[in-house]
Chain A
Amino acid sequence: MADEAHFSSNDGSTTMREFNRRTLLMAAAGMAGGGALAGCSGVGGGSGGGGDDASGSVRYAFWGNNVRMENYQDAFDRMMEINPDVTLETEFAEYNAFQERMTTQMAAGNVADIFWIPSASVMSYYANDLYRPLSDVSTLDLSDFSEQDLRDFELAGEHNTMPHGIFVPVLRSNVTLAEEDGITIPENWTWDELAEFARDYANNSPDDRFALPFNASHDLTFEAWLRQRGEQLWTEDGQIGFTEDGLASWVDWWEQLRAAGATPEPGAQDGVEPSWEDIGDRTLLWTGNSNHIVDDATTFPDQQFALHHMPEAADAPAGHQFLYFPRMAIYQGVSDEQAELAGQVMTFCTSNSEIHEYVGLTMGAPVNPRVAEEVRDFASDYELQMLDVVTEDREIERTPRYEAPPGTNTWRTEMTRMLEQVTLGDVSVSQGAADLIAEINTGIERAAD
């Protein structure tokens, strides 16, 4: 550096100008190159490849709305107080945007250290080695979980993802409407009894009220229907687990209700996927996920709601109940040191009830049975209902359930399109079922090629 200064001062003004120009060129090239490299470095820079990062930062990617983001941020601030050696960098997005970013980050090999897994992509990510095995992450505390729990968490016999909640399919009733109409909702009934009840309600209730939304597109309730028929949504070997007859019977059940006026037409509920905001306060019963009551109830604060188990077919096989796990994973590309830091974060998320004081139970019942008991101390009435329903299903011995195989990411969109065609009369129920199965199979075969 001293030599450069000496050289410049001795060589007069011309050399000085050339030196400055050269410096300027180098600076510009450096800045431009740096900018380009920064562009390539992906979101946040983060700790990607930061296994040797002494700061101990962990990137955590998840989705939701702004309220969830703020709640989780508060929770993670608390976690960093408890674990001062971990600095958490959150990467948050709305659900669709989250998936887009994941896709881009996967292409760049720059996935967050911990990431939530979109339900339809669980096995797609697995097939492409995105998950790091969790069995060797010593900081991940699994001491509260039973052998059965840990087996339930496995994918293809490997513990490589960690559930961070539990949902079950439920029937939700609008207690306020039921009281106004002088109705008592049964706790145990079959699908046929529910259908008969819905038709009766449609004939005897005010015109602007519905017994149910047209909700044939809801995946968990469809899965419940299939399992009660002895079928599955997906098989262990990554194929469709249901028959054309099974799918057609489900759609037909809903179509008959729609024809009887027991559900709204799709146009009156914002499409074949019903909008809670549009008709939730005018609909007596609602099929959905157990956790939805927590957020949905806030839309209509003047009304009260209650959770019930799904109807059960008279000949349903034992163990048809199932638990759905929203999952998260540690990226396989992180170093051992980074995985240990990520394990601390996962432990906070799954085995520390304190997180639920900040984020509530919008992501379902805690997966850790000890935490599920502890949160009862501060859970709301709706959250307590949700915990009860999940706990009851959890205590039942259940037959195995399998995740959606690679190539089926869009099966719900395809089902929605089929239902649109059926409700518009463009195709028959049986034809729609056959077409959907063929379309899903095409995706599975393409992914397997």
Chain B
Amino acid sequence: MADTRTPARPPGTRRPKAGKLTRQDGAAHVFMAPWLIGLVAITALPMFASLYLAFTDYNILSSPTWVGTENFERMAGDDRFWSAAWVTVTYVLVSVPLQLAFALALAMVLDKGLRGLAIYRSAYYLPSLLGTSVAVAVLWKQIFGYDGLVNQALGLIGIEGQNWLQNPDTALGTLIVLNVWTFGSPMVIFLAGLRQIPEELYEASRVDGASIVRQFASITIPLLTPIIFFNLILQTIGSFQAFTQAHVISSGTGGPVDSTLFYTLYIYQQAFVNFDMGYASALAWVLMVVIAIITAVHFTLSKRWVFYGD
């Protein structure tokens, strides 16, 4: 057991007066300064500026004009706002569970001590690095396009394909597949979590005659719930903010017929195409509040299903 008591002051030194900076404090502030200045200048100030702009009519070229809650009221009658919200919620609800399930399944396979584990782990992690890049979005066009790999494969078994990215019924599905394919990041975290589960628990359950399924349900899942929760929070927030894939694949339009109009893409269109920065700021704040509420709900519900072992 480590000694966690506060170490005694060196002989001959006095306790610093409250509120008075010591040399160490000064040095700490110097080292913190770049980050602190970055936080204030690059994150906090623009955030508060956007909060102000959310209540203005601002087209970048002219000074902002205060319009009160008009931008927020406008959302209620904006069909494209609701389309974007629906597309994004669908994307989150479908892709996050699928991605986590894939990640967990692969992590369990890799946890069996395969030869060349490091190679497999790197290979599966690679799409996570590339998944939101322009290059992969372009690749996706080649795979799901009219003359793409999917249709060529279907053609081999006599099925006539279609342009999966240009059909509003399937375009979002291809982006969900793309997101699921980037399961490497949660997989690596799951793998680390699986390594933390004591082997004795599995041995004891085997002695008691527990099946693999029972072991999975009664040992693996409960002990992995903090990791599942962690991944769930990260992936949910990340999916709400998905942008690049839809932007590249739809050339920034969110088409066909707004079927890939992610919420962030709509914000982008309002801000950088329509020059409607006030409305875009209001949209961005609504997204932030929604994500905050969903995260808070996740944390509240987590008390019922996340097992920390304490």
Contacts and interface: CB of A to CB of B under 8 A. Distances in A.
Interface of A: 21, 24-25, 28-29, 32-33, 35-36, 39, 96, 99-100, 103, 106-107, 124-125, 127-130, 266-273, 278, 409-410, 413, 416-417, 420-421, 424, 426, 443, 446-447, 449
Nearest to A443: B274
A35 B33 CA distance: 12
A270 B145 contact: yes
Q: Report, nearest first, the 6 A-B pairs whose CB atoms are least far apart.
A: A128-B61, A267-B163, A267-B166, A420-B256, A420-B257, A107-B60
B62 A128 contact: yes
Contacts of A270: 145-146, 163, 166
A25 B255 contact: no
B255 A32 contact: no
A267 B41 contact: no
B34 A278 contact: no
Given A32-B34, A128-B61, A424-B168, A103 B272 contact: yes
Contacts, number: 94
A421 B61 contact: no
A268 B255 contact: no
A417 B258 contact: yes
A409 B274 contact: yes
Interface in B31-65: 33-34, 37, 41-42, 57, 59-62
Given A39-B42, A267-B166, A21 B60 contact: no
B252 A266 contact: no
Contact of B26 (A21, A33, A413, A417): A21
Contacts of B163: 266-268, 270-271
B255 to A, nearest CB: 6
B273 A413 contact: yes
B275 A278 contact: no
Interface residues of B, number: 37
Interface in B8-48: 23, 26-27, 30, 33-34, 37, 41-42
B257 A413 contact: no
Contacts of A272: 256
Given A21-B26, A32-B37, A424-B168, A103 B60 contact: yes
B253 interface: yes
Contacts of A421: 257
A72 to B, nearest CB: 23
Given A103-B275, A410-B274, A267 B146 contact: yes
A88 to B, nearest CB: 26
Nearest to B164: A267
Contacts of A128: 59, 61-62
26 contacts: A24-B30, A25-B30, A28-B33, A39-B42, A96-B252, A100-B272, A106-B61, A129-B61, A270-B145, A270-B163, A270-B166, A271-B256, A272-B256, A278-B146, A409-B273, A409-B275, A410-B273, A413-B252, A417-B257, A420-B255, A420-B256, A420-B257, A424-B168, A446-B276, A447-B59, A449-B57
Interface in B240-294: 251-253, 255-258, 269, 271-277
A271 B167 CA distance: 9
Contacts of A125: 61
B173 to A, nearest CB: 15
Contact of B34 (A35, A267, A446, A449): A35
